[in-house]
Amino acid sequence: MTIPRSPGLPFIFVTLVIDMIGLGIIIPVVPALVTQLSGDRLLAARNLGLLIASFSLAQLLAAPILGSLSDRFGRRPVLLASTLLTAVSYGLASLAPSLLWLFLARALGGIGGATVGVANAYIADVSTPENRARNFGLAGAAFGFGLIVGPALGGLLGQFGLRLPYMVAAALAVLNFLYGLLVLPESHPRNDEPIAPSSFVPLRALGVLGRFPGLLVLTTVIVCMNLAQQFLTSTWVLHGTLRYGWTTGTNGLSLAVAGVIGAFVQIALLPRVLGRLGNERTVTVGILLAVLANVLYGFSSHPWILFATMPIGALAGLAGPALQALIAGRTVPQAQGAVQGALGGVGSLCAIAGPLASTALFSHFTAPNTPIHVPGVAFFAAALFLLAGLGVFLSFRGRSVPQGEPA
């Protein structure tokens, strides 16, 4: 796939790549750092879930607000400010002397990372109905590419110190801010209409999803997919360490391999699949493949089985961009920021509940005294969420609804 000529899209691509490198760098070392600060493996698993949830709670509070602010003042200032805050959060985490400091740093990082919805609104601003899904696929490729470099680099750096990856992530965020300051154009004109007070109340701000036909149904599908993804990612390193005895380097390598395959799918295969199947059938096929991948991950008693399953898991990533395109097509341009911000808030709710539930589930079914030892239990739970999402989406398919018109 060729990156579109819109001058902002390359920046969004680079921003998401650097963001994911920053997140990916710390993935291999976060469990070890939390264990070091907690002093107990089982307690560390629960603290890890709480740490991820604190990041997501901050995103929940900030995402709808930032989305509405981007509708009012433009995407550019919101994206730049969040990038700078992200740099500060990584810097604080690199110096954290206790879990409390680490929690504070991750909360600030959650606010800085709450602009994924703004980035999606930017993509919707500069896209046409014909290339919208492909452009959202570009964002997916950025995530995949970041996961190639980030975990591999984090695993390598983590061998020289658990804090070093955080320092490098902070430096990357500063570079990203400087890059955006120089090259990022505005995609959305300033709007003089006042922001509705409800936009500053996180849960009330989610009400914008009910203003456009089909969005609540599609949001339900996103909830199921997000919960499944949270169950997968929150326990991936814990699972690899316990079941296969992987080190931080091996865990980083596994995530890098998944990123390589995922980026290939988004760049090389997504446009062809969309051309043949269209958005709705692409979502259906992607969810079915995700169910299969999670079941196989759960049964992977040897590392080679898990690696052999990764291409199926990567193909499951076809569903996300197609689903985002369906949502953007049912939203008027003036509300893209609010809708994408609300979806970011929904994702944050999932990212609060998912890690807490999945790490608790993993701890229960891997404890030494557990009557049933199931290391892959979180992957099986993810498959169930995906099946529920598929059922909801099949009820949506075929509805004839005018795009971009309020209900």
3 found inside a domain: no
Two tokens, residue 206: 């989610």
> Is it the case that residue 166 has pLDDT exceeding 80?
yes
CATH code at 206?
1.20.1250.20
Percent of the chain with pLDDT over 70: 88
> Is it the case that residue 25 has pLDDT exceeding 90?
no
101 found inside a domain: yes
CA distance 144 to 151: 11
284 found inside a domain: yes
What does pLDDT average to over the chain? 81
364 vs 267, residue with greater confidence: 364
CA distance 343 to 337: 10
**Do 310 and 300 contact (CB within 8 A), yes or no?**
no
Number of domains, the chain:
1
Show the domain range for 372: 8-185+198-396
pLDDT digits (tens, 9 = 90+) for 247-306: 877 887 887 788 788 878 877 888 888 889 988 999 999 999 999 999 999 999 999 999
**Do 180 and 83 contact (CB within 8 A), yes or no?**
yes
41 vs 11, residue with greater confidence: 11
CA distance 159 to 3: 36
Q: Which residue has the tokens 């949502």?
A: 327
Q: Which residue has the tokens 């698993």?
A: 45
Distance of CA 283 to the CA centre of its chain: 17
Mean pLDDT along residues 155-180: 84
132 found inside a domain: yes
CA distance 58 to 114: 8
Please classify residue 213 by burial: count the beta carbons closer than 10 Å to its beta carbon, then call 0-12 exposed, 13-18 middle and 19+ buried. middle
pLDDT digits (tens, 9 = 90+) for 212-246: 888 889 999 999 999 999 899 888 888 998 999 98
Spatial CA neighbour of 290 closest among 224, 216, 217, 240: 224
How many other CB atoms sit within 10 Å of the CB of residue 39?
Answer: 8
Torsion-angle region of residue 302: left (phi > 0), alpha (psi -120 to 50) or beta?
Answer: beta
CA distance 221 to 343: 11
Mean pLDDT along residues 198-212: 67
HSE of 165, CA atoms in CB hemisphere, 13 A: 28
Angle value at C-alpha 386, between 239 and 205, nearest 5 degrees: 105
Mean pLDDT is highest, among 132-141, 197-206, 255-264, for 255-264
Mean pLDDT along residues 171-188: 83
How many other CB atoms sit within 10 Å of the CB of residue 103?
Answer: 17
Angle formed by the axes of helices 336-366 and 377-396, nearest 10°:
150
The pLDDT of residue 3 is 39
Torsion-angle region of residue 52: left (phi > 0), alpha (psi -120 to 50) or beta?
Answer: alpha
pLDDT digits (tens, 9 = 90+) for 83-108: 899 899 989 988 888 888 888 888 88
373 found inside a domain: yes
Mean pLDDT is highest, among 239-243, 278-282, 308-312, 326-330, for 308-312
Percent of the chain with pLDDT over 90: 19
190 found inside a domain: no
Which of 48-62, 72-86, 382-396 shows the lowest per-residue confidence on average (mean pLDDT)? 48-62
- Start-to-end CA distance of the chain, whole Å, equals 35
191 found inside a domain: no
Torsion-angle region of residue 374: left (phi > 0), alpha (psi -120 to 50) or beta?
Answer: beta
DSSP helix/strand/coil, 27: coil
324 vs 38, residue with greater confidence: 324
Mean pLDDT along residues 353-367: 87
> Is it the case that residue 197 has pLDDT exceeding 70?
no
Helix (H) or strand (E) holding 365: helix 336-366
DSSP 97-155: -SHHHHHHHHHHHHHHGGGHHHHHHHHHHT--TTTHHHHHHHHHHHHHHHHHHHHHHHH
Spatial CA neighbour of 172 closest among 104, 83, 95: 83
The pLDDT of residue 40 is 65
Spatial CA neighbour of 256 closest among 314, 176, 173: 314
71 found inside a domain: yes
Mean pLDDT along residues 16-35: 74
Reported as a pLDDT band with limits 50, 70 and 90, residue 22 is low
